[in-house]
Chain A
Amino acid sequence: EAQVTQNPRYLITVTGKKLTVTCSQNMNHEYMSWYRQDPGLGLRQIYYSMNVEVTDKGDVPEGYKVSRKEKRNFPLILESPSPNQTSLYFCASGLTGLASYNEQFFGPGTRLTVL
């Protein structure tokens, strides 16, 4: 089954304790991205990656890091989480190129609470 998986699905942590949210896709997509969803704000892009070893900032990258060492994986790293990073996080993947029309596939989400 084609899918994007994320782990963990739920996480409660404390300020300053480093954490990683994993994302994996099995569709051989070049493109992967992280979004955060906050009430009244919709989804905002954090980071994206066009391919292995190619990553770039989205609209709200502060406080986050990513890496893309393998095509299927795109972990999101919070080196020192703060309460304003409490949010629902989505990983997405998709093809690139004109024919793709940028249809993106989303993971189930990770609900993070930082105390």
Chain B
Amino acid sequence: GNSVTQMEGPVTLSEEAFLTINCTYTATGYPSLFWYVQYPGEGLQLLLKATKADDKGSNKGFEATYRKETTSFHLEKGSVQVSDSAVYFCALYSGGSNYKLTFGKGTLLTVNP
């Protein structure tokens, strides 16, 4: 079946540090890939997505590239801010009538001033 593995947290960084959160996946076919962000006390918001190999999703300074050869979709940001503190979820959709998103377990990021 489908699965998503993302790096265990928590991740603690200082403001302006470089961020990488690793995400690898196992799926049939050609999945769509997503990063969702959950700020404290809020629901999940779509951060970025990529729908085919070599696509780069980007939003709010975050980027992730769909790498089919390594089945990866790592999230990066060049300079994090305190306001980026949140839980980040990698997710995929590989087709199927249930339209189910398969999520990783989430990575808690804390950015200190």
- B89, B101, B103, B104: the one within 8 Å of A102 (CB): B101
Judge whether A43 and B101 touch: CB under 8 Å. Answer: yes
Kindly report which residue of chain A lies nearest to residue B94, judged by CB atoms. A102
In the complex, which residue of chain A has the Cβ closest to the Cβ of B96? A102
Q: Name the B residues within 8 Å of A56 (CB-CB).
A: 98
Partner of B43, one of A90, A96, A103: A90
Chain A interface secondary structure, helix, strand, loop or mixed? strand
Q: How many interface residues does chain A have, given as a range?
A: 20 to 34
Q: How far apart are the CA atoms of A42 and B104 in the complex, in Å?
A: 6
Query: Is B93 interfacial (CB 8 A cutoff)?
Result: yes
Residues on A with C-beta less than 8 A from B105 are: 40-42
Asked whether A33 is an interface residue with its Cβ less than 8 Å from the other chain, the reply is yes
Contacts of B79 in A (CB 8 A): none
